[in-house]
A and B are shown apart, each in its own frame.
Chain A
């Protein structure tokens, strides 16, 4: 059992070392700015620390929870920064080039490979489906905001979300175990 207890800084350190990279990466993907991503990641981990939480590994994925906290904080940060709208076509490959990968461990290499595979799978989605999913998940936009942004009916936006998620579910989630996709230890 991994423990995040207010008296156990060492346990928190382990939690951060295991999930800090994924948290920072997600935060950066959403806010698109390194300093803001640092702030979001710090806020998220401190909220976890201060919540006095204890995690029972036998019952689920701590990474899912950490990343949900990070996403919520990142979306909040996006909304607070009025002019800091998310990029519609965030170029993840350019980030790879900007930050040469230091695949120090097999785990890191596996995580990067998983990311590449998932990015490739997402790219295989029709652009119209991928776009609405990215805007909703990474941009925090509602379907009505997306419809207005893209000038299309609400029903079309929701339909594209459904088709895209169904394809991801079939192509990715069934191919990857939760541990390999999310835990990535």
Chain B
């Protein structure tokens, strides 16, 4: 048996389950760490991801009820009016966003996949909290996983959302970005992609974690191909433990 065949026998089943989001927490970590250091398996992830991406297209198209659209638009239009009216009191206390911070920006999550990866540039680069009277955000330190790293971060969690301030992250390599991940306590420790972002010249950025923090075990930061990934392809650089 050749070395190449042996490697495929050892890892390709795991990589397929990894791409399909079907591994439990421990195995997902093990495979992610291997993929991070194995170009062959990274290529395998890239090759298989489109097979997962097409699965939603196999679903029978249904028409959503018109009431759903009406409800959504009612909420959205109300919140848009609140957002544009500086003097209007909020209907319910919640986070508000500051203007973009020059020099850094945050990106929303993305699915990986053969060049169709998504980049969502969050309309705000950093965002500050102004309405805090109704909630009591908790703050967690994000620490580097390598002793040689001077990167650091601070995660502020307010209910299901949060803001991650990172600093001293090295400039990502060409065609790479940073990506935040939320790992759940249940669901077999499922790791959910969150915001994709870049850092400024000083390695800092303020990143929105728009949801998923309620009941989360940890928030991680990895370096990913441009556009972000559906699964971490490298080991975490920063980890904020929430438990």
Q: Which residues of A contact B (CB under 8 A)?
A: 3-9, 12-13, 16-17, 20-26, 28-29, 34, 38, 41-42, 45-47, 49-56, 59-62, 64-65, 67-69, 71-72, 75-76, 79, 92-93, 95-96, 99, 101-102, 108, 111-112, 114-115, 118-119, 121-122, 133, 136-138, 140-146, 155, 157-159, 161-162, 165-166, 168-169, 172-173, 176, 178, 181-182, 184
Residues of B close to A68: CB separation below 8 A: 109, 111, 193, 230
| Stretch of B32-40, B46-54, B141-149 at the chain-chain interface | B46-54
CB distance from A114 to the nearest CB of B (A): 6
| Stretch of B14-22, B131-139, B150-158, B234-242 at the chain-chain interface | B14-22
User: What is the bound-complex CA distance between A50 and B162, given in angstroms?
Assistant: 12
Residues of B close to A8: CB separation below 8 A: 80
Are A51's CB and B108's CB within 8 A?
A: yes
Q: Which residue of B lies closest to A44 (CB)?
A: B211
Residues of B close to A5: CB separation below 8 A: 123
Are A133's CB and B80's CB within 8 A?
A: no
User: What is the bound-complex CA distance between A166 and B12, given in angstroms?
Assistant: 11
Residues of A close to B186: CB separation below 8 A: 79
CB distance from B11 to the nearest CB of A (A): 10
Residues of A close to B57: CB separation below 8 A: 22, 114-115, 118, 176, 181-182, 184
Are B20's CB and A165's CB within 8 A?
A: yes
Are B14's CB and A95's CB within 8 A?
A: no
Cross-chain contact of A59 among B54, B118, B124 (Cβ < 8 A): B118
Are B61's CB and A143's CB within 8 A?
A: no
Number of A-B contacts (CB under 8 A): 257
Are B60's CB and A60's CB within 8 A?
A: no
Are B48's CB and A166's CB within 8 A?
A: yes
Q: How many residues of B contact A (CB 8 A)?
A: 76
Q: Which residue of A lies closest to B16 (CB)?
A: A162
| A26-B65 contact in complex given A6-B123, A7-B80, A52-B123, C-beta closer than 8 Å | no
Residues of A close to B71: CB separation below 8 A: 42
User: What is the bound-complex CA distance between A23 and B77, given in angstroms?
Assistant: 21
User: What is the bound-complex CA distance between A53 and B211, given in angstroms?
Assistant: 13
Are B54's CB and A172's CB within 8 A?
A: yes
CB distance from B28 to the nearest CB of A (A): 9
Q: Does B129 contact A (CB under 8 A)?
A: no
Q: Does B87 contact A (CB under 8 A)?
A: no
User: What is the bound-complex CA distance between A22 and B62, given in angstroms?
Assistant: 7
Are B54's CB and A182's CB within 8 A?
A: yes
| A9-B48 contact in complex given A118-B54, A158-B14, A162-B13, C-beta closer than 8 Å | no
Are A119's CB and B60's CB within 8 A?
A: yes
Residues of A close to B190: CB separation below 8 A: 75
Are A46's CB and B22's CB within 8 A?
A: no
